[in-house]
Amino acid sequence: MPGLPLRQIHLDFHTTEKIVPIADAFEPEVFARTLADASVNSVTCFSKCHHGLIYHDTKFEARHPGLKRNLLAEQIEACHRVGIHVPIYISAGLDMFQSTRHPEWIELDDQNRLNGASPLQAGWQKLCFNSPYMDYLYAQTHEVLTTLPVDGLFFDIIHQGACCCRFCMKSMIEAGMNPESRENRLHFAAAALRHFRRHMTNLIRAHNADCTIFYNSGHVGPDVRATLDSYTHLELESLPSGGWGYDHFPATVRFARTLGVETLGMTGKFLKSWADFGGIKTQPALEYECFTALAEGAGCSVGDQLHPRGALDPATYELVGAVYRSVAEKEPWCVGARPVTEIGVFTPEALGQQDGSVDTALAGAYHMLISGHHQFDVVDEDSDWSRYRVIILPDKITLDDELTAKADRYVKSGGSVILSHRSGMDRETQSHFMLADTPVRYLAEGRHCPDYVEAERVLAAGVPPSQHVMYERGLEVEALDGAQTLAEVWWPYFDRTWEHFCSHNQTPPDRASGVPAVVRRERIIYFSHPIFGMFKRHGSHVYKRLVQNALNLLLPDPLVTTNAPSTAHVTLLRQETEKRYVAHVLHYIPENRYTSLHTVEDVIPLRDVELSLRVPAPKRVSLVPSGQELPFVMREGRVRITIPEVRGHAMVALED
């Protein structure tokens, strides 16, 4: 990962003016040495926080009233002396100092309510990116660029709602847009953010040609493409215990890493979420989060918050150091590593169809594939599909003419497709399937819910011989000529209603319907139920087995096979400059033992993990960073090796 440090700290310092003095315990040399001893090589420090207060010498009146030193400048100078980069943080969307002085700059909804905390709540208000506040933000950033050495800039809270403030109303009318239309307001809001990113990047580049630039909105999705040239890299904020969950980062990074820029995974040291003072997560949890970033081809960033006194917490940096020293040892096999994949999963977010920060259909596909040790990316309509042997369109990926043409070209060129439920249907009416080689014709909504599915032999490996309940309504379809039915719908006696019901839950199956549930035609397989989202929502292992069996039909020789359990995550990366492949095996198991906390507490070793990789014959195979050589055999075009033990994380280098 050339140029982007892999061992970063994001050091929050949101400190109210009601705490004075501040930074009175800050010792520059101790600060820098604590970070260096923990193997940190980059720390993001604060120019301006959410309170709107500034932490260095400034011409603006927003300097923190309790600050008696040029804190940020001292942090930068001390860190530079020990070789640590210092990107500079500026809160963009939140600024309490300005919002209290200029309430007219706050976002306003169509009910005349301010966006943010109410007068009797703790918290901030969200400032409008189309208001005169922007002039202040540009001026404050200009001061940073002209008075401080700038390694990078990190702008936070880059959000804009459907604002109805007087500045947005006036600008929308001037642009010929209708402020009464929420769709128009959201379109205008997105344009305001695009303008901000481009204008700010131009401002930065007028003064600094080399510093890193990132705009943080707490998530990176397909809409980042519109202004990707305004960024130098991507930082994926994703604190698993802080509301993001353990699905968010791995699903998000598998899209972000396809965009051609370097990527960081940002977790936190906190037991819960940001500013959880006194809360420190377990070492296995932080290992899992950082090593997962490495295994996905990303760098690491750990969030912390500096105490108002300005001294780093020793226990935090004992934890960070224990993990980052291991990251530093592994770093030579991670720099410039790019994932090797063969499956693309289309994200519903690209069509505005997501039902959460990670859509349940995407999350279901992620868990099915990761537990089957498949190598995959997340894609959208602008991705290069030719890189993949299989494209999965989960549950709700409807098509317009342009996306239909892309998918048809992909299939004609030899690609395979898995569709489920409404995926592949026309976007406007959802009355018919669009792909030329679709194996089914749409007839109607499924007539029963729940209904049942029985798999034919070709799809039945690992599936108990029974009729398996489909908890959500599917579609009734007809198999077209030349198509093969792989599973059939069974109907219940009747749907459960007040008029007729049987036992505690759904009515049992009665008879085979003759309606197909899974159909194959050449290189396209269709599932009539929303099986990916159903897997995430209901957890039936049968759903996973059906999809994995379908993949085996389309992808009989996957990149990776292993005897590791489904709880192990296996990824394959390529370091082209070093002429080697690197396989990662992770075995940490996040648990939900507590009311509102997912975490990892234990490392459960795996022994004699067999890997079979479809890569060219290597000259040497070894565990890294230890250098222990591993015996291997080549058989049927595959490298076969055995890892004696995986204790949390193991890396295997295969040298060309």
Q: Does residue 25 register a pLDDT over 80?
A: yes
What are 478's two structure tokens? Answer: 């007809």
Q: Which amino acid is at 117?
A: A
At 597 the pLDDT is 87
The pLDDT tens digits of the residues spanning 158-195 come to 999 999 999 999 999 999 999 999 999 999 999 999 99
Q: Share the mean pLDDT of the chain.
A: 96
Strand partners, 613: 560, 639
At 39 the pLDDT is 98
Q: 80-113 burial string, b = 16+ CB within 10 Å, else e?
A: eeeebbbbbbbbbbbbbbbbeeeeebbbbeeeee
Binned at pLDDT 50, 70 and 90, residue 595 comes out as confident
365 touches 532 (CB < 8 A): yes
Task: Report the half-sphere exposure of 38 (CA within 13 A, side-chain side).
Answer: 27
For tokens 């397989």, the residue is 525
Q: How far is CA 88 from CA 138, 198, 292, 540, 543, in A?
A: 15, 19, 26, 47, 47
At 481 the pLDDT is 94
Q: Does residue 102 register a pLDDT over 80?
A: yes
Strand partners, 536: none
Binned at pLDDT 50, 70 and 90, residue 598 comes out as confident
3-state secondary structure 148-176: CCCCEEEEECCCCCCCCCHHHHHHHHHCC
The pLDDT tens digits of the residues spanning 496-507 come to 999 999 999 999
Q: Does residue 389 register a pLDDT over 50?
A: yes
All residues at 6 or more sequence positions from 596 whose CB lies less than 8 Å from its CB, including other chains: none
At 1 the pLDDT is 38
Collapsing DSSP states into helix, strand and coil, what is residue 124? coil
Task: Report the half-sphere exposure of 599 (CA within 13 A, side-chain side).
Answer: 21
Average pLDDT of span 633-639: 95
The pLDDT tens digits of the residues spanning 257-292 come to 999 999 999 999 999 999 999 999 999 999 999 999
Lowest mean pLDDT among 1-10, 377-386, 616-625: 1-10
CATH class, 563-655 region: mainly beta
Alpha-carbon span 651 to 486, nearest angstrom? 38
For the beta carbon of residue 642, count every other beta carbon within 10 angstroms. 14
CATH class, 7-336 region: alpha beta
What are 623's two structure tokens? Answer: 């565990």
Task: Quickly count helices (H) and strands (E) in the chain.
Answer: 13, 30
Average pLDDT of span 298-311: 98
Q: Enumerate the domain spans of the chain.
A: 7-336, 343-554, 563-655
Binned at pLDDT 50, 70 and 90, residue 320 comes out as very high
The pLDDT tens digits of the residues spanning 325-384 come to 999 999 999 999 999 999 999 999 999 999 988 999 999 999 999 999 999 999 999 999
At 193 the pLDDT is 97
Q: What are phi and psi of 593, to 5 degrees?
A: -75, -20
343-554 homologous superfamily: Class I glutamine amidotransferase (GATase) domain (3.40.50.880)
At 596 the pLDDT is 83
Q: Which amino acid is at 133?
A: Y
Binned at pLDDT 50, 70 and 90, residue 593 comes out as confident
pTM for this model (two decimals): 0.95
Nearest to 588 by CA among 381, 323, 374, 333: 323
Alpha-carbon span 434 to 429, nearest angstrom? 11
343 touches 62 (CB < 8 A): no
At 592 the pLDDT is 86
Alpha-carbon span 171 to 175, nearest angstrom? 6
The pLDDT tens digits of the residues spanning 501-524 come to 999 999 999 999 999 999 999 999
Q: Do 7-336 and 563-655 share a fold?
A: no
Nearest to 603 by CA among 572, 568, 627: 568
93 touches 66 (CB < 8 A): no
Average pLDDT of span 533-537: 98
The pLDDT tens digits of the residues spanning 452-479 come to 999 999 999 999 999 999 999 999 999 9
